[in-house]
Amino acid sequence: CKGFNGYDKVLLRNPRGSSAEVYLYGGHVTSWKNERREELLFLSSKATLKPPKAIRGGIPICFPQFGSHGTIDQHGFARNRFWIIDNDPHPFPTNTSNKAFVDLIFKPSEADMKIWPHNFEFRLRVALGPGGELMLTSRIRNTNPEGKPFSFTFAYHTYFSVSDISEVRVEGLETLDYLDNLQKKELFTEQGDALTFESEVDKIYLSTPTKIAILDHEKKRTFELRKDGLPDAVVWNPWEKKAKAMADFGDDEYKHMLCVEAAAVEMPITLKPGEEWKGRLELSTVPSSYCSGQ
């Protein structure tokens, strides 16, 4: 259905009839609700759904670049473009019997190719599983006719909704090396126990495990993030000062969000013509008995 400003708005409902649901604008998931219709993703009250400005929240997809360098927009242009429903999803397997899903495709315009001179097909499948789990699969194929390979970096820039950032823990990134965007991007090593949050954080963890857990004390809920083809993980909260400096971010909203992003940043992915890369993200929630301060 036509959503805001021309973005196609798509609603996925759980095939088993539960009230779990997912909303997308173009290739951007903006809402993921569980069977109790609780919103699990953060979307700023000041988010604009107006291309080409990126939507502040949900799951923006960073491609062909994570971060800001060179002439490409910060986090690439895929998140700011129109996607179309792909009725010919040949590359995706058909085992979707118990899932609600939509297939979208994005190809670069002439203007895009002036920014990044490559031909590609970016197919995205967004699926809602029978248990309310949210799955995103990206397939990016190099369709350069004249034999040119290309390299890119990528992230599912996921904004999780949390009750209180000061009572959130992240498990799975302990003892790993990370690049710190707040300290001139040197390489550091994380300490030995779960991450907790008292101030701005902007770290790119390298060679991370397939599964990362985000524990919300107040809700007694754990988000489980599983990823494939995405070795790194970015953890970001702007905290008060940076949040106040963003027009599309409410002053106190930093207290109720945390970005944990399945990513490929340290080692760009290179595709020869005809080659295809697949990056998969699966999000689910489980009850957790974590008590803060443990």
Q: Active-site residue numbers?
A: 157, 261
281 lies in the binding site for ligand TA6 (CB under 6 A)? no
Binding letters toward ligand TA6, positions 77-116, x by CB under 6 A: ----------------------------------------
Closer residue to ligand TA6 in complex, CB, 55/127 = 55
Applying CB under 6 A, which part among 28-36, 67-75, 80-88, 95-103 lies near ligand TA6? Answer: 67-75
Q: Which string of x and - marks every residue 202-241 that binds ligand TA6 (by CB under 6 A)?
A: x-------------------------------x-x-----
Q: Residue 67 CB, nearest distance to ligand TA6 (Å)?
A: 6
Segment 2 to 61, residues that bind ligand TA6, using CB under 6 A: 54
237 vs 288 by CB, closer to ligand TA6: 237
Q: How far is the CB of 54 from ligand TA6 (least distance, A)?
A: 5
Q: How far is the CB of 204 from ligand TA6 (least distance, A)?
A: 8
- Find, among 81, 82, 105, the residue nearest to 92 by Cα: 105
Give whichever of 26 and 67 is closer to ligand TA6, judged by the CB atom. 67
Q: How many chain residues are in contact with ligand TA6, going by CB under 6 A?
A: 11
Task: Tell me the HSE value of 272 on the side-chain side, using a 13 A CA sphere.
Answer: 1
- Our CB check for ligand TA6 shows the closer of 38 and 252 to be 252
Contacts 24+ apart (CB under 8 A), 179-188: 179/203, 179/204, 179/206, 179/265, 179/266
What character string, x for contact with ligand TA6 (CB under 6 A) and - otherwise, covers 146-165?
Answer: -----------x--------
Whether the CB-CB separation of 259 and 203 falls below 8 Å is answered with no
Contact with ligand TA6 (CB under 6 A) among 261, 262, 264, 283: 261
Whole-number Å distance between alpha carbons of 170 and 237: 13
Give residue number: closest CB to ligand TA6: 236
How far is it, in rounded angstroms, from Cα 294 to Cα 288? 13
Of 143 and 181, which CB lies nearer to ligand TA6 in the complex structure? 181
Fill in the per-residue mask, 175 to 204: x = in contact with ligand TA6 (CB under 6 A), - = not in contact.
Answer: ------x--------------------x--
b/e for 157-177, b at 16 or more Cβ within 10 A? bbbbbbeebebbbbbbbeebe
- Residues 6 or more apart whose CB falls under 8 angstroms from that of 170 comprise 194, 195, 212, 213, 214, 215, 235, 258, 260
Give the gyration radius of the chain's Cα atoms: 18
Considering only CA atoms, which of 125, 128, 151, 152 is closest in space to residue 138? 125
Give the DSSP letter string of 239-272. HHHHHHT-TTS-TTGGGGEEEEEEEEEEEEEEE-
Nearer to ligand TA6 by Cβ, of 32 and 66: the residue is 66
DSSP 197-236: -SS-EEEEE-S--SEEEEEETTTTEEEEEEEES--EEEEE
Query: Which positions touch ligand TA6 (CB under 6 A)?
Result: 54, 67, 74-75, 157, 181, 202, 234, 236, 259, 261
